[in-house]
Amino acid sequence: MTSAGAPERSGTTRGGGTLYRGDLGMWSWVAHRITGVLTFFFLFSHVLDTALVRVSPNSYDKVIELYKNPVVNLFEVGLVGAVLYHALNGIRVMLVDFWEKGAKYQRLMLWSVLVVWVLVMIPGFYFMMQRTISELVGGH
């Protein structure tokens, strides 16, 4: 029996833990859920701040001005990273679920998702932060 009271099955341990504890597949599952929740809350707040233009255009203008803050720009980069990971990993999850060889190649597909994510995020980070960094160091 494990400490949680569930019987331990033979062949389900890897490195002393359960099959998923610390495995890359578990972390991709956790990251997929977190990025989905973050994207949901962004969309919810975006609908609210956009609706503000109908209620009070002056308040809307103040909110938009607040978004020009360098910290918010960094959050925008994080949002793009979250949405991109969620989308790419979602494609991988669909392939695992609906492609007969998906489970066999799921680890390779996860590494492919991570490589594509990094390759897109490097120039994305540069272009998204370019204005903020130049303003912080006094450039034009």
Q: Give residue 5's pLDDT band: very low, low, confident or very high (50, 70, 90).
A: low
Put residue 13 in one of left, alpha, beta given phi > 0 → left and psi -120 to 50 → alpha: beta
Quickly list DSSP for 15-80: TTEESSTT-HHHHHHHHHHHHHHHHHHHHHHHHHHHHHHHH-HHHHHHHHHHTTSHHHHHHHHHHH
- Residue 18 near residue 12, CB atoms below 8 Å: yes
Tens-place pLDDT, residues 12-26: 444 555 555 667 888
Tens-place pLDDT, residues 85-139: 999 999 999 999 999 998 999 999 999 999 999 999 999 999 999 988 888 887 6
The encoded tokens of residue 86 equal 């969620």
Average pLDDT over residues 37-48: 94
Predicted pLDDT at 68 = 87
Greater model confidence, 107 or 4: 107
Predicted pLDDT at 13 = 47
Tens-place pLDDT, residues 62-76: 999 988 888 999 999
Predicted pLDDT at 32 = 95
Q: Give residue 9's pLDDT band: very low, low, confident or very high (50, 70, 90).
A: very low
The C-alpha atoms of residue 23 and residue 14 are separated, in whole angstroms, by 9
Expressed in angstroms, the distance from the first to the final Cα of the chain is 65
